[in-house]
Amino acid sequence: MAQAALAIRNLSKAYAPGQFVLRDLSLEVAPRGVTAIIGPSGSGKSTLIRCINRLVEPTAGAILFEGRDLTRLKGAELRRARARIGMVFQEYNLVERLTVMENVLTGRLAYVSPLKAWLRRFPPEDIERAFRLLDEVGLSGYERQRADSLSGGQRQRVGIARAIMQQPRLLLADEPTSSLDPKTSVEIMTLLRDLAAGHAIPVLVNMHDVELARRFADRIVGLAGGAIVFDGPPHALSDARLAGIYGGESWLH
């Protein structure tokens, strides 16, 4: 890869000394397309995603993004880097008592002074863009609804709009469909893929649904025991490979 959007070098993470969740993991993410991380529960998928924007502190290794090592950033520099990385959560993580519009505008908090944010004095172009994004995610007219009045699928649409609102150079998604029913899951993944492609943002998503990963990802990374055991296009993910990731074969049939 000539110019990766993200390069992870020898990343390790141990929550308790000696108990590694991620071991010496290296991965590069292309500047376009959807990369899906699959793997059994506890394989470190979520930890990997959260290490990138430092919601979880890595133990060792480097994460290169826009020419800087994210693991070394502090304070304002870290916040500036986070502002360039959008994130979509499994349980949406919207602020429940705020309206849809306020939740989407949260994506601009890094660029607005706290006082103006508190008074909801966002620049008109931000508000205009938030309206357009709400149209794009199919929530036109919902701007005044409170987040806690929405269904799961609608909330995740707001979550995606909030992440894109940041105008990020990378989009992380931590099990974005695990709290949703199968039909809504497909709708959300379609939206995520198309929106990211439209805004030219590479996506790194972890998911436990292999079929969904095959259907939407351009590249699949299989994680087991904190290390990469598969890396390739969806069609290369054979049953034998799957058995290698998840262990055993009986669940396949």
Partner 1 sequence: MLPPNFEHWDAILKGLKESLEIAVLASFFGILIALPVGLLAARNLMPAWVSWSARALIAAARAFHPVIVAILFVKAIGFGAIAGIMALVVASVGFIGKLFAEAVEEISLKQLEGVRATGASFAGVIAFGVLPQVLPRFIGFSTYQFDSNVRNSTMVGVVGAGGIGAPLFVAFQRFEYDVVCAIILAIIAVVFLAEVISARVQRIFGA
Partner 2 sequence: MPSAPGSAAARAWNRFTPAERLARFAVYLAVVAAVVVSAATVEFIPEFVYDAPEQMRDLLVRMWPVDFAHYPRGVHAALVETLHIASLGTLLAVALAVPVGLLAARNVTPVPALNYLAKLVLVSSRSVNSLVWALLFIAVFGPGALAGTLAIAFRSIGFVGKLFAEACEEAHPGTIEALAAVGAPWASILTHGYWPQVKPAFWAIVLLRWDINVRESAVLGLVGAGGIGVALNTAINLFQWNRVAVVLLAIFAVVIAAEILVTQLRKRLI
- State the minimum distance, in angstroms, from the CB of residue 58 to partner 1: 16
State how far the Cα of 81 lies from the Cα of 69, in Å rounded to an integer: 10
Is 24 an interacting residue with respect to partner 2 (CB under 8 A)? no
Return the residue of 24, 28, 69, 143 that touches partner 2, per CB under 8 A.
Answer: 143
Q: In this structure, are strands 34-38 and 60-65 parallel, antiparallel, or unpaired?
A: unpaired
Could you tell me if residue 10 is left (phi over 0), alpha (psi between -120 and 50 degrees) or otherwise beta? left
Name which of partner 2, partner 1, none residue 53 binds, using a CB cut-off of 5 to 8 Å depending on partner kind: partner 1
- State the minimum distance, in angstroms, from the CB of residue 23 to partner 1: 25
DSSP 146: B
Q: Are 51 and 58 in contact (CB under 8 A)?
A: yes
| Residues found near partner 1 in the complex (CB under 8 A) | 53, 55, 76, 79-87, 89, 91-98, 102, 106-107, 109-110, 112, 114, 117-118, 159, 162, 166
- State the minimum distance, in angstroms, from the CB of residue 112 to partner 2: 14
Give the residue carrying structure tokens 């000696």.
Answer: 18
Q: Are 146 and 60 in contact (CB under 8 A)?
A: no
Give a three-class secondary structure readout of 98-115: CEHHHHHHHHHHHHCCHH
Is 151 an interacting residue with respect to partner 2 (CB under 8 A)? no
Give the residue carrying structure tokens 């709708």.
Answer: 187
- State the minimum distance, in angstroms, from the CB of residue 105 to partner 2: 9
Name which of partner 2, partner 1, none residue 132 binds, using a CB cut-off of 5 to 8 Å depending on partner kind: partner 2
Name which of partner 1, partner 2, none residue 82 binds, using a CB cut-off of 5 to 8 Å depending on partner kind: partner 1
State how far the Cα of 159 lies from the Cα of 42, in Å rounded to an integer: 25
Using CB under 8 A, which residues numbered 102 to 131 contact partner 2? 102, 120, 124, 127-128, 130-131
Q: How many residues bind partner 2 (CB under 8 A)?
A: 16
Is 97 an interacting residue with respect to partner 2 (CB under 8 A)? no
Q: Are 83 and 110 in contact (CB under 8 A)?
A: yes
Beta bridge partners of 62: 9
For partner 2, the binding residues (CB under 8 A) are 99, 101-102, 120, 124, 127-128, 130-132, 135, 140-144
